[in-house]
């Protein structure tokens, strides 16, 4: 395995970062050595450190955003929102920890005190993705540190510079370097972290394929906490609505923000036959107006690049496969530059494809599926092994009530995009989208475990039933001591 790594800007191809592959064994050994000291810090003290970290993020907000934009290819305006999310995660995580892992005591004069407290797991490995290389791993790291865990963080090999910058901000907040470490590397380093006997938990955000492999690897080790935050083949269902411009805007925000590289991005637009010819011209007209450009362009683009040329090629190949199997272009997705991963947003009608592939096409390619009625729309929306996010556009309150009840997803919205979930709510899905360990506000649940106790300051105990009378010898010994 090569010991050097290089990261380049998707929008220019220029080198942005160069570094070394990390040593997993050494990092975990250091984290293990540091975990007792960090766990013994009071929660209030650990929260104070996190607030110092938030101040460092604020202090370095603009260079942080510029680095995210350069290394991911996303527009600067969007990178700035990611930095804001990193900072805001601190107070949200503090509130979540106090609410969901607080202490409780019940006093009884005869039975003593019944208590509930929480303990950290120990060393947590965090594997981050490239689409939100600061916000998403930070969503695991901050709750884990507040709970008293130490963290070994492996950023995506496609965004190592952002991962390293994020880690340095923790260190600038005077959090000990062994408490939060950044280990660079590709799949081999990730596998080494997952399989290491001395980690106590694995917190992952990424593809379903990688998440399934992690789940299999750790299935025989129930002592390790595993939280898997994976992708989705997310549906938007469109019912009757007079607000076609608003509907089209919501669809575009869902499908094409971050160049479609969000786990909550809409992949499938399910439309009633009667609405198809009304929405398509509006949707296509608005999509054609979206600006695709480099992160610092003026005016600011709606979309930047996808992460690299490999991803762009795979998306082009996926579109071609859909066309070969009966799909029809509504708006063709195109490579805008042969040597750089700029893609125009595309829309393809896949209604006539008999067996539509249930995959997450991680980019700006939206499929339209026409159905005859609401029953068929709900059935089609649920026609996936994933279950992360779903939205209903249009309809009446009773339509949404049915949608909420029958849709299999962890995030179910009405007249709102499939993406843009609040960090003040739980974030996760079912099926191939997660393993019932939702992140965001509920991350506190998997970063500490509950410990119940009953406590009395002096031992007091009697055996009230089933005890024989003491023997004569026992009575004599007792009388002698008396």
Burial class (CB in 10 A: 0-12, 13-18, 19+), 152: buried
Q: In angstroms, rounded to a whole number, what is the distance separating the alpha carbons of residues 208 and 214? A: 10
Q: In angstroms, rounded to a whole number, what is the distance separating the alpha carbons of residues 175 and 168? A: 10
| Of the candidates 275, 78, 80, 53, the residue with the CA atom closest to the CA atom of residue 167 | 53
Q: Quick one: which H or E segment has residue 256?
A: helix 244-256
- Is 267 within 8 Å of 367 (Cβ atoms)? yes
- Is 5 within 8 Å of 20 (Cβ atoms)? yes
Q: In angstroms, rounded to a whole number, what is the distance separating the alpha carbons of residues 160 and 130? A: 9
- Is 177 within 8 Å of 164 (Cβ atoms)? no
- Is 74 within 8 Å of 304 (Cβ atoms)? yes
- Is 88 within 8 Å of 440 (Cβ atoms)? no
Encoded tokens for 88: 């805001």
Contacts of 416 (CB under 8 A, 6+ apart): 250, 391
Residue 152 bridge partners (DSSP): 125, 181
Catalytic residues: 229, 263
| Of the candidates 422, 417, 418, the residue with the CA atom closest to the CA atom of residue 442 | 422
Contacts of 123 (CB under 8 A, 6+ apart): 28, 31, 32, 35, 149, 150, 151, 152, 198, 199, 200, 201
| Of the candidates 238, 233, 281, 232, the residue with the CA atom closest to the CA atom of residue 371 | 238
């Amino acid at each position: 395995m090569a010991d050097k790594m290089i990261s380049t800007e998707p929008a220019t191809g220029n080198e942005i970062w160069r570094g070394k592959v990390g040593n997993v064994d050494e990092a975990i050994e250091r984290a293990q050595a540091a975990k007792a000291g960090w766990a013994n810090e009071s929660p209030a003290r650990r929260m104070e450190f996190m607030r110092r970290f938030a101040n460092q993020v604020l202090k370095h907000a603009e260079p942080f955003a510029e680095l995210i934009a350069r290394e991911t290819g996303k527009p600067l305006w969007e990178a700035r929102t990611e930095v804001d999310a990193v900072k805001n995660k601190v107070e949200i995580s503090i509130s979540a920890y106090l609410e969901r892992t607080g202490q409780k005591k019940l006093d009884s004069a005869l039975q003593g005190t019944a208590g509930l407290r929480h303990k950290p797991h120990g060393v947590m490995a965090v594997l981050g993705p490239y689409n939100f290389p600061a916000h998403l791993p930070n969503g695991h790291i901050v709750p884990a540190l507040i709970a008293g865990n130490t963290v070994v963080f492996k950023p995506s090999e496609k965004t190592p510079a952002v991962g390293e910058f994020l880690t340095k901000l923790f260190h600038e907040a005077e959090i000990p370097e062994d408490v939060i470490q950044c280990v660079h590397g590709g799949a081999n380093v990730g596998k080494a972290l997952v399989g290491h006997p001395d980690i106590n938990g694995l917190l992952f955000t990424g593809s379903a394929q990688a998440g399934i492999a992690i789940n299999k690897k750790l299935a025989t080790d129930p002592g390790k906490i595993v939280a898997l935050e994976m992708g989705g083949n997310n549906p938007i269902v469109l019912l009757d609505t007079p607000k076609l411009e608003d509907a089209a805007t919501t669809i575009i925000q869902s499908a094409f923000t971050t160049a479609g590289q969000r786990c909550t991005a809409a992949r499938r637009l399910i439309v009633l036959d009667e609405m198809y010819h009304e929405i398509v011209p509006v949707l296509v007209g608005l999509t054609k107006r979206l600006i695709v450009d480099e992160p610092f362009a003026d005016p600011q683009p709606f979309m930047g690049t996808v992460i690299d040329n490999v991803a762009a090629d795979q998306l082009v190949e996926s579109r071609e496969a859909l066309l070969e199997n009966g799909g029809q272009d509504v708006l063709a997705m195109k490579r805008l530059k042969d040597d750089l991963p700029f893609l125009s947003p595309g829309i393809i009608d896949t209604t006539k494809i008999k067996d539509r592939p249930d995959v997450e096409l991680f980019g700006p390619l939206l499929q339209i599926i026409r159905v005859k009625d609401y029953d068929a729309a709900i059935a089609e929306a649920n026609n996936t092994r994933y279950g992360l996010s779903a939205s209903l556009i249009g309809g009446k309150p009773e339509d949404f009530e049915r949608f909420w009840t029958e849709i299999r997803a962890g995030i179910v919205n009405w007249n709102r995009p499939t993406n843009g979930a609040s960090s003040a709510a739980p974030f996760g899905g079912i099926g191939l989208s997660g393993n019932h360990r939702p992140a965001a506000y509920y991350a506190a649940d998997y970063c500490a475990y509950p410990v119940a106790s009953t406590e009395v300051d002096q031992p007091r105990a009697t055996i009230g039933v089933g005890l024989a009378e003491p023997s004569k010898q026992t009575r004599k010994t007792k009388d002698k001591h008396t």
